[in-house]
Chain A
Amino acid sequence: MPVATYDLWAFVSENWRELLDALVNTIKVSALAIAGAFAIGLTLGAARAHRIPVVSQITAVYVEIIRNTPILVQIFMLFFALPQAGIRLDGFTTAWLSVMLWGGAFNSENFRAGFEAVPKRYREAGLALGFSPLATFFNVTLPIGGRISLPSSINTYISVVKKTSLMYVIGYPELTTTAINIANLTLETLEALTVLGIVYLTLVWSLSASIRVLESRLALPEERS
């Protein structure tokens, strides 16, 4: 067995190009998934909060299925079971689609809770002022409820970023796959794990710091001090 010496700098300087590409892939998948999860969460969350028939029930089923089955099973379904029905998704599509569907389910619960926390009389006031239901949603419910759901939805986005590491199981070259593959070739396991730890913690910690900044920036006027 070769005697390994720990040299983080050598590991990074020899593999930085691959690692950077991998980081770009992680960010690309995360960004697409977060954008999609935001759109899904907003629409389905609004539909559920306003108890729109059919859409609400379908959303409830979607949310419960995603929440109560492991995301790895969902990824396997998309990547290994769909081809059986003749639908072949490449690694990149599977990657963003699976975490987007996962994040969208959790996010629709976040938005629903936010919208439901808006006092009913605000909505009634909007309608009484002659706003259409849609205009009331965009001018009253969304600005207030959206802010209420902001911290929990950012937490969901943070989880989305972390879940992209699971694409290791389908071999999509994001950060985790790439780092582990390099480590398997060079036996620089500890260096690869250090890089993974540093990069993920930087991403996650800066995203959670953004919750605090956004919360104070977007606080409702009466909550500002």
Chain B
Amino acid sequence: MSDIPTDLNYASSHEWVSVEGDTAIIGISDHAQEELTELVFIELPEIGLKLTAGDPCAVVESVKTASDIYAPVSGQVIETNDALDTEPGTVNEDPYGDGWFFKVRLTDSSELGDLLSPEDYAMQIDM
């Protein structure tokens, strides 16, 4: 049974978004890390990169495959979780906390309205 915190919003591509003012923190959901299984490598976007919602912006690699992570909202990357360089498994252990990927400065906060609520995300992953 996947964990879906109620204080976050979600993209249908399984990223979560936490908003603090004009900054959004982004990671991947518990369902996503379960499906991917143990991660062995994570490629994060460069700081300063300008992202448009829907852009592939990061890559996660499990033992078997590489998967793209998509920007759930538009913004400029202002910080990345470099601890994931040495401990990619943190994403599996704590996808909503220490397993965060990167932060953006939002360029269009109206996009937050396009994200899925926890209930809608739960329905999408069919819980």
A and B assemble together? no
Question: A-contacting residues of B (Cβ < 8 Å)?
Answer: none
Question: B-contacting residues of A (Cβ < 8 Å)?
Answer: none
